Amino acid sequence: MTAPERREPAPARTGVLRHDSLPMRLYHESKRLGAWDPRSLDLRRDVEDWARFTVAERDVLLRLTVLFQAAEESMTRDLMPLVLSVAREDRLEEMLFLTSFLAEEAKHTEFFRRVLDEVCRQSGDLQRYQTPSFRRLFAEQLPAAMQRLLTDPTPAAQAEALVTYSLVGEGVLGDAGYHAFSSALTAGDRMPGFRDGLARAQADEGRHLTYGLHVLGRLVAEDREVWGAVSRRMEELLPLTLGIVSEFFEAYDPMPFGLSLDDTIQDAIARFAGRWAALEEARAQGQAGAPNADRTVREVLGWVGEQVQPVTVDMRREGTSPVYTFRVGSAGASSVLLITQEVLGQHASTDIIAALRAHRVPERLRSAGRTRLTCVNARGKIIVQPPE
Ligand SMILES: [Fe+2]
Ligand SMILES: [Fe+2]
């Protein structure tokens, strides 16, 4: 019998949170603005309004609500593989945001279900409203693109998943759907409780889309191959997406509420064009070799954090200040390292870390309390002040 091995268990990993990073800003926003409860919406007037619609009007609203409910349910279910792929890459800030993202999708599912149950009073089989293009996207393409991440977490697979989920699902189709709801309900001030929930869900989707585009922008900037995957995927999905919108309209003649297929598509495509242009811009910047300041900050922060352990480091940037403040230690006796944006934007993290190492920055920050060091860019060189 051998003696049981006595080894020190590895410590649980602790990360540093960059509160000024986009995912953290979205996370904080989501805690403030995303905190709504579908159960608290007052739907009493909605029930009365529902009874006053014509049969055709009710059918349009029911169809749209059924499609939203099914789409939100897919979006809730299919987000999981993305959460896992972000966890696998240890992107802590994104993981925090994804917890609210997922919770919000769950609330959207609950919200549309509640409207179907309590306002439309429809609990039966509503799958007849799902047209062939809708089924192809939400029952086949979306789950396949997301589940692929479980076995293929490559940048191209991540980008294809986000094109499907964010750009097409939350973007083009979400926009078209919200546009139709607001055209139908705003004019007569009808269904105020439902509109209240729609406005909140739409605001949540705005954050989700911002996050999706942020990650897509990073992926296309970092890897040339990814752009091909993104544009191929978009080419494949655009006809299907427009098919979903057209099939929705085909069911009615005349279309109630004066809804127009052309207006709906134009509105969604105009928004899409802006997002696509932003992605092309991110790709062009990546190809021009501009260092990715966001990634550089993360890498420098990670390195400083490792070096000063067990003391903690916290990084802040006030608004659009040109200086990033790395605070090492507790509030009373903390040392501070200031790095200008110029340094972080013009130098690779490996060069910055080499300069900090050469000037023994971690040791100096750790040793005496209240040390104040500055890292600036001068004639293309990284300077640490004061010199040792
Ligand atoms: Fe949603
Ligand atoms: Fe969403």
Query: pLDDT per residue over 265-279, tens digit each?
Result: 998 888 889 889 989
What local confidence, expressed as pLDDT, does residue 191 receive? 97
Residue 196 is which amino acid? D
Q: How far does the centroid of ligand 2 lie from the alpha carbon of residue 204, in Å?
A: 7
The reported pLDDT for the residue numbered 20 is 84
CA of 194 to the centre of ligand 1 (A): 15
* pLDDT score at 1: 54
Q: Kindly identify the ligand whose nearest atom is closest to the C-alpha of 26.
A: 2
Ranking 28-37, 112-121, 137-146 by mean pLDDT, the lowest is: 28-37
Average pLDDT (154-174) is 96
Ligand 2 centre from 252 Cα, in Å?
A: 28
Question: Residue 279 C-alpha to ligand 1 middle, in angstroms?
Answer: 22
For CA atoms 353, 355, 358, 361, the dihedral sign is negative
Q: What is the 3-state secondary structure (H, E, C) of 267-317?
A: HHHHHHHHHHHHHHHHHHHHHCCCCCHHHHHHHHHHHHHHHHCCCCEEEEC
∠96-272-147 over CA atoms, to 5°?
A: 50
Residues with CB under 5 A from ligand 1 (ion): 72, 105, 108
Q: Is 367 helix (H, G, I), strand (E, B) or coil?
A: helix
What's the CA-to-centroid distance between 102 and ligand 1, angstroms? 9
- Give the number of the ligand closest to the Cα of residue 100: 2
Token duo for residue 349: 């993290």
Question: pLDDT exceeding 90 applies to what percent of the chain?
Answer: 61
If we measure between CA atoms, which residue out of 261, 240, 234, 193 comes closest to residue 47?
A: 193
Is 328 in a helix, a strand, or coil?
strand
Q: Which amino acid is at 33?
A: L
- Bridge partners (DSSP) of residue 325 are 316, 338
Task: Supply the Cα-derived Rg of the chain in whole angstroms.
Answer: 25
pTM, to two decimals: 0.75
CA 171 to ligand 1 center in whole angstroms: 11
How much distance in Å is there from the Cα of 192 to the middle of ligand 1?
20
145 close to 79: Cβ distance less than 8 angstroms: no
Kindly give the distance from the C-alpha atom of residue 203 to the centroid of ligand 2, in angstroms, as a whole number. Answer: 9
The CATH number of the domain covering residues in 22-287: 1.10.620.20
* Centre of ligand 2 from the C-alpha of residue 33, in Å: 14
Residue ranges of the domains in the chain? 22-287, 293-385
State mean pLDDT over 240-253.
Answer: 95
Q: Give the distance (Å) from ligand 1 centre to CA of residue 205.
A: 6
- Which ligand has the minimum distance to the alpha carbon of residue 68? 1
> Given pLDDT bands bounded at 50, 70 and 90, which one contains residue 385?
confident
Tell me if 194 sits within 8 A of 185, measured CB to CB. yes
Lowest mean pLDDT among 48-62, 132-146, 320-334: 320-334
pLDDT at 371: 86
379 pLDDT band, cuts 50/70/90, is confident
CA of 172 to the centre of ligand 2 (A): 12
Report the alpha-carbon distance of residue 301 to residue 349 in Å, rounded: 10
- Nearest ligand, CA of residue 211? 2
Q: Which helix (H) or strand (E) holds 74?
A: helix 55-78
291 pLDDT band, cuts 50/70/90, is low
Instruction: State the distance from the centre of ligand 2 to the C-alpha of 83, rounded, in angstroms.
Output: 13
| Predicted confidence (pLDDT) at residue 71 exceeds the cutoff of 90 | yes
pLDDT above 70 (res 208) = yes
- Collect contacts of 331-334 with beta carbons under 8 A, ≥24 apart: 333/369, 333/370, 334/369, 334/370
Instruction: Encode burial over 226-245: b for 16+ CB neighbours within 10 A, e otherwise.
Output: bbebbbebbeebeebbbbbb
CA of 72 to the centre of ligand 1 (A): 5
Map 182-224 to HEC letters: HHHHCCCCCCHHHHHHHHHHHHHHHHHHHHHHHHHHHHHHHCH
Q: What percent of the chain has pLDDT over 70?
A: 97
Distance from C-alpha of 155 to C-alpha of 151, rounded to nearest angstrom = 13
**Contact by Cβ (8 Å): 317, 323:** yes
- Ligand 2 centroid–CA 108 distance in Å is 8
Ligand nearest to the CA of 105: 1
On whether the CB atoms of residues 305 and 361 are closer than 8 A, the answer is no
Confidence bin at 349 (pLDDT 50/70/90): confident
Q: What single DSSP character describes residue 340? A: E
Query: How remote is the CA of residue 105 from the centroid of ligand 2, in Å?
Result: 6
Q: Which of 5-14, 51-60, 164-173, 257-266 has the lowest mean pLDDT?
A: 5-14
